[in-house]
Structure 1
Amino acid sequence: MMRPARFPVSAALLRRLALASIIANVGIVVTGGAVRLTDSGLGCPTWPRCTDESYTATAEMGINGAIEFGNRLLTFAVGLIALATLVAVLLHRSRRRSLLPLAVAVFLGIPAQAVIGGITVLTNLNPWVVGLHFLASMAVIAAAYALWRRTKEPDGPTVAVVPAPLRTLAWLTTLVSVAVLVIGTWVTGSGPHAGDHGAARNGLDPESIAQVHADSVFLLIGLSVALVFAFRAVGATGAARAALVLLAVELGQGLIGFVQYLTHLPALLVGAHMLGSCLVLLATLSVQWSTRERRPAPASATSAGAATDAEAHPVAAAHS
C-alpha cells in the first residue's frame, strides 16, 4: 500500500514563515503605538465590536475610528501568518516534535494579546492594562524569535560555547533588559500619550520614573559592554559580535529616549522608541542564543529513534 502524498514543506519555507511572524508582530507593536499616539485608543469605544451596533468603524467615527479599526484588522493578518507557520510545522514531519510547542505558543499568543487589547478598551485605556498589552506583544515576539532560531538549528543536544560565569552574565543581562522594558511601560503610563484625552494616568511622577528608567538603561549598557569584552577574552567571536550589536541597538535606543525627553515627547520619536524596544529585545535574545549551540544528534541516537518508529508502526515501515 502506498502512503498518501504529503504536501512538501521545506526547511527554507519554515524559516521564512517564522521570520515573517517576527516581522508581523513587531509591526503590530508599531501600529499599536500609532493608535495611542494619534489619540485613537478609543476610536472604537467598545470590544469585540467597534460600536454597540457594528463590528466595523463607521464614517461618523472619523479618522480615529478608522485607525483603531485598522489596527484590529492587522491582528487577523498577524494571526494568519502564525497559523500558516503552525500548519507548516505540522506538515514538516521531521521537525514537528521540536518546533510544535513554539509554533503553538506564537499562534495562541495572538488571540491572547488581542483579548488584553480588548480589555484596555473596556477599561478606558487603563495605563497598567495598556502596559500589559505591550508586554504581551513582547512575549509573542520572543516566542516567534525562538521558533525562527530553532528552524535554523538541527535537532540535537545543546552545547555551551562560553564558560558558565559568562552564561550567567548573559542571563543577568537578559533579566535587566526585560526590566528596562517593564519600567518603560511605567514611564509611558505616566506620560502625556494616553491614547485618548480622557484616559487616566498611573499616578507616578514622570520625572522620577523616567530617571529610574534611565538608570536601568545605564546598567544594561554597562552589562553589555562587559559581555563584549568577556566574550572576546575567551575567543567566542560569534557571541562577542551579538553583544556588540546589542550594545549598538541600546545606544541608538538611548539616544532616541534622551532626545524625545528633551523635546517633550514628540509622537514620531515615541513611535521610533517603541520600535527600538522591539529591537532591543531581539538583540538581547540573539546574545542569549549565541552562548550555546545545538549540534546534530549522534548517529546511534538517530538509528535508535528510527528503530523505535519502525517498531511502533511496522506496517508503515514495511511499505516505506
Structure 2
Amino acid sequence: MGVTDTRWSLARWVRPLGWATLVANIMLVVTGGAVRLTGSGLGCPTWPRCTEESFRPHGELTLHAAIEFGNRMLTFVLVAIAVATFVSAWQTRRRELRRLSIVLALGIPAQAVIGGITVLTDLNPWIVSFHLLCSMAIIGLAVLFLRRIDHPDPQRAARGLVGLAWLTFAAAWVVLYIGTVVTGSGPHAGDLESKRNELDPLQVSQLHADSVFLFFGLSVGLLFALIAVGASREARRAVVVLLAVSFSQGAIGFVQYFTDLPEILVGFHMLGAALVSATVTWALLLVLDGRTSKPA
C-alpha cells in the first residue's frame, strides 16, 4: 500500500470519528451528571491525583471514589478519539476540518483542567456550571465538524432567516445557562458538604421556565419561517427534531420539579441538555449554509 492509499484510508474515517467525538462528549455530560447525582464529586478529593498519595484510589475502594475515578478515566478515551479525529482530518487536506479537529482536541485537556478546578474549589457551583457549559460548546463544535465534512462551502441564506436562527440559538444557550444556575441552587451538589449558589430555587426555576417558553416559541417561529420560504425537507426536519427534543426536555423539567428532583430524571434532563445543544447547532448550520431552498 502506497503513501496515497494510506492517506485515503485514514481520511475515510473522518465521519465515523466525528460521530465518535459527538457521542463521547455527550456521554461525558451523562457520566459527569452521575458523579454529581450520586454525591461522588469529591470521591477523589484532590486533582490531578485522586488522593494525596496516588493518581488512583487505593485501600478500600468506596463507591464514590470508583464513580469519580471512572469519570476521570473517560478523559483518556476522549483523548484517543480526539487524536484519531485530528489525524484523519489532517489527511483530508481540508483546512477547516483541520482547525476544527485541533479545537476539539484542545477542548479535552481544557475540560480536564476545569474539572480539576471544580474539585480543588470543593465543587463551587459556578465552576461546575462553567464545566458543563464547556461540554455543551464542545458538543456544538462536534456537530459543526460533522456538517463541514459534506458541506465545506456554505452559501448565503436570507438575512431574516439568519437573524431568526441566531436568535433561536442564543435563546437555547440562555436556557442552558440558567439551567446550570438552577442546578447550582438545588440539592444535587455532588457532595453533602458542598455549598450552593444561595439563590432562591423557586425564583431561578421560574426564570428558567420563562426562558424555555421563549426558546420554544422562537423555534416554532423558525419552523413556520422555513415553511413560508419553501425550505428543503432537511432544514424543516432539523427544526422539527429540535422542537421534539426541546418539548421532551421541557416535559422532563416540569415533572422533575414537581416530584422533588429525583436523580434519574435529573440525569435524563442533563442528557436532554446535551441533545438540545447538538440539535440547535444543527438547525442553525442548515440555515446559515443557505441550503434552505427547495431545488427548482
Q: Give the TM-score, by structure 2 length.
A: 0.94
Please tell me whether the aligned partners of residues 45 and 51 of structure 1 are also in contact (alpha carbons under 8 angstroms). Answer: yes
Q: CA deviation at 1:8?
A: 2.7
Partner of 1:290: 286
Distance in 1 (CA, whole Å) between partners of 2:252 and 2:288 is: 32
Residue number in structure 2 paired with 1:82: 82
In the alignment, the residues of structure 1 paired with residue 103 and residue 135 of structure 2 have an alpha-carbon distance, to the nearest angstrom, of 12
Match of 1:221, as an amino acid? F
1:240-296 alpha-carbon deviations (Å, 9 max, x no partner): 22111111111000000000001000000000000000111111011111114389x
- Using the alignment, how far apart are the partners of 1:253 and 1:234 within structure 2? 28
Change (3 A) 1:9 1:85: farther
Equivalent pairs: percent with the same residue?
A: 54
Instruction: Give matches, 1:211-230, under 5 Å.
Output: 211-230=206-225
- 2:273 is aligned, of 262, 277, 285, to 277
1:100 corresponds to 2:95: no
In structure 2, distance between residues paired with 1:52 and 1:292? 50
2: CA distance between counterparts of 1:201 and 1:277? 21
Q: Who is 2:6 aligned against?
A: 7
1:124-177 per-position Cα deviation (integer Å, ceiling 9, x unaligned)? 000000001001111111111111111122x43x2134x211110000000010
The reply on whether 1:132 has 2:130 as its aligned counterpart is yes
Contact 2:40-2:190 at 8 Å conserved across structures: yes
1:85-234 matches, within 5 Å, as 85-93=85-93, 95=94, 97-153=95-151, 155-156=152-153, 158-161=154-157, 163-234=158-229
Does structure 2 retain, via aligned residues, the 8 Å contact 1:102–1:143?
A: yes
* Residue 42 (structure 1) shift: 0.1
SS of 1:235's partner is: coil
**AA matched with 1:129:** I
Q: How many residues align?
A: 288
| Amino acid paired to 1:151 | I
User: Which consecutive segments of 4 or more residues in structure 1 shift more than 3 A?
Assistant: 3-6, 9-12, 292-295
Determine the C-alpha separation between the residues in 2 that align with 1:259 and 1:214.
12
SS across alignment from 1:228: helix
Q: Flag the 1:87–1:12 CA change in 2: closer, same or farther, 3 A.
A: closer
**8 Å Cα contact 2:12-2:88 kept in structure 1:** no
CA contact (8 A) 2:171 2:215 kept: yes
Find the aligned partners of 1:179 and 1:251 in 2 and give their Cα distance: 16
Partner of 1:254: 250
Letter of the 1:202 counterpart: N
Give unmatched runs, 5+ long, in structure 2: 292-296
Show the counterpart of 1:70. Answer: 70
| Letter paired with 1:9 | W
Distance 2:72 2:135 in 1: 14
SS at match of 2:220: helix
Tell which deviates more after alignment, 111-120 or 83-92: 83-92
Quick one: which amino acid aligns to residue 14 of structure 2?
A: L
Q: For 2:96, give the aligned amino acid.
A: S
Q: Distance in 2 between matches of 1:239 and 1:171?
A: 15
What letter corresponds to residue 60 of structure 2 in structure 1?
Answer: E
